[in-house]
Amino acid sequence: MSNVRAQAAHTLFQVVDKGISLSVALPRYSRDLSPQDKALMQQMCFGVLRYLPSLEFYCQQLLEQPLKGKSRVYQFLLYVGLYQLQHMRVPEHAAVAETVNALKSMRATGLKGLVNAVLRNFQRRQIELEEQAQQIDACKYNHPGWFIKKLQRDYPNEWQTIIENNQQQAPMWLRVNNRLNGRQAYADSLSEKGIEFTLDDQFADAIRLTKAMDVFALPGFADGACSVQDAAAQQAARLLAPQNGERILDACAAPGGKTCHILELADVNVVALDADAQRLDRVRENLDRLNMDAELICAQAQDTDSWHKGEQFDRVLLDVPCSATGVIRRHPDIKWLRRGTDIDELAKLQAQILEAIWPLVKSGGVLLYATCSVLSEENQEQIKSFLAHHDDALHVPLHDADTTDQPGWQMLPGLTDGFYYAKIIKQ
């Protein structure tokens, strides 16, 4: 039988040292675990990635030298043990014993004494070590330095709140399928099942669950009654405002939540485009569950010659590739996989896609630019530059703070994920 802590250590090693995303590594190493153990493993992996600099610091203080080379994976087992002791409700004796026991399935019983000693020593010195860690910015904030600097520049009064929210567990939001239910009717069906939730008037189709749960325990999920989608992401289709009979492009569409939402709101013809064939399969799966259809095309959005057939679109949703710094609480590996140098490259790619897609918008048509980033280079600065170079682009304010100087609507992580939207009409 697979040991959950050993599998967590292997997963974390793949993410941090090998650069594999958590969404790929986690299923690979948890496939043989029970549902209960899968949930425990996910909690451990998310937790270690949220507090990685602090856990690294503790190991620096507790080990004579770090574990390297072939022993490197056991360093991550130590992180798993330390995270349990500091942040989880696992009884301390069980956290230590089970972490040491994981070495058996990792065929490294010779390290039992070392792992036991490190964890026991942490228990004795925990308060002292935590106080020392708070004096180091990397440990105090548990975010990479380049990202903290960008947040301080863009959000001088809010950067610490953003960081604190990134360290929290993300809420589970549902999007009600308006073709099958009104939101209140679906909320009533949740109440009948004893599922607790809250409604928020600013999100017309959204229900926030008090506690995350298995989707197949939700009433009507298999039949398309609802989908899991953060309330911030749900704003895309609402702001795009599709109208019956229109031809709409959802560029960079995978995994398909926004594509499906557009089809739930109006009888339209949607072209869903994505460069990743596997992720495009997810779009098809989502459409099938909701009994909907769209034209799926696998291609690079900016390479319009390879996929565009000449007909322009009434509306375009351009959810461009981005740093994903607005969804760190859902994907804590982003902090350690992303590099500061990536942002300039992403901004160049976003500008290329914007330039390539703009001619595909009809005169009088709408382009909605979207990212799940909180960084100005990918958002406000991108749109300001685009507007400055296109006389036929009319900026449409989405709220009072959406101005020509600071165009777009920036949602920050908190109640919802961090998202950015800017709406442009072709004159």
CB 103 within 8 A of CB 77: yes
Sort 178 into a burial class: Cβ within 10 Å, 0-12 / 13-18 / 19+: middle
Q: How high is the pLDDT of residue 230?
A: 98
Q: How high is the pLDDT of residue 30?
A: 95
CB atoms within 10 A of CB 14: 20
248 residue type, one letter: I
Residues 278 and 221 in one domain: no
Residues 236 and 194 in one domain: no
Phi-psi label, residue 291: left if phi above 0, alpha if psi -120 to 50, beta otherwise: left
Q: Which domain covers residue 214, as residue numbers?
A: 172-228
Q: How high is the pLDDT of residue 222?
A: 95
* Nearest residue to 159 (alpha-carbon basis) of 311, 308, 336, 375: 375
Show which of 207, 228, 249 is a domain's final residue.
228
In-domain check, residue 165: no
CB atoms within 10 A of CB 394: 14
Bridge partners of 317, per DSSP, are 250, 368
Residues 219 and 256 in one domain: no
Q: How high is the pLDDT of residue 2?
A: 63
CB 313 within 8 A of CB 365: yes
Residue 373 dihedral angles phi and psi, to the nearest 5° = -115, 155
Q: Residue 265 and residue 243: Cα distance in Å, rounded?
A: 8
Residues 192 and 253 in one domain: no
Residues 19 and 111 in one domain: yes
Residues 135 and 193 in one domain: no
What DSSP string describes 251-303?
A: ES-TT-HHHHHHHHHS--EEEEEES-HHHHHHHHHHHHHTT---EEEES-TT-
Residue 304 dihedral angles phi and psi, to the nearest 5° = -65, -30
Residues 11 and 123 in one domain: yes
Active-site pick, 252, 260, 322, 372: 372
CB 314 within 8 A of CB 246: yes
Q: How high is the pLDDT of residue 160?
A: 98
* 3-state secondary structure at position 196: coil
Q: How high is the pLDDT of residue 150?
A: 98
Residues 90 and 237 in one domain: no
Q: Would the CA dihedral through 378, 384, 385, 389 be positive or negative?
A: positive
Q: Residue 299 and residue 107: Cα distance in Å, rounded?
A: 45
Q: Which residues contact 307 (CB under 8 A, 6 or more apart)?
A: 273, 297, 299
Show which of 228, 253, 272 is a domain's final residue.
228
In-domain check, residue 149: no
Residues 197 and 307 in one domain: no
The CATH code of the domain that includes 62 is 1.10.940.10
pLDDT per residue as tens, the chain (427 positions):
469 999 999 999 999 999 999 999 999 999 999 999 999 999 999 999 999 999 999 999 999 999 999 999 999 999 999 999 999 999 999 999 999 999 999 999 999 999 999 999 999 999 999 999 999 999 999 999 999 999 999 999 999 999 999 999 999 999 999 999 999 999 999 999 999 999 999 999 999 999 999 999 999 999 999 999 999 999 999 999 999 999 999 999 999 999 999 999 999 999 999 999 999 999 999 999 999 999 999 999 999 999 999 999 999 999 999 999 999 999 999 999 999 999 999 999 999 999 999 999 999 999 999 999 999 999 999 999 999 999 999 999 999 999 999 999 999 999 999 999 999 999 9
* Nearest residue to 316 (alpha-carbon basis) of 161, 188, 424: 424
The CATH code of the domain that includes 220 is 3.30.70.1170
Q: Would the CA dihedral through 352, 24, 175, 41 be positive or negative?
A: negative
Q: Residue 424 and residue 383: Cα distance in Å, rounded?
A: 9
Model confidence pLDDT, tens digit, residues 158-171: 999 999 999 999 99
Residues 337 and 223 in one domain: no
Token pair of 54, please? 């602090």
CA 123 to chain CA centroid, nearest Å: 33
Task: State how many domains the chain has.
Answer: 3
Show which of 184, 203, 228 is a domain's final residue.
228
Residue found under tokens 């895309």? 236
Is 372 in the active site? yes
Residues 189 and 131 in one domain: no
Predicted TM-score (pTM) of this structure: 0.95
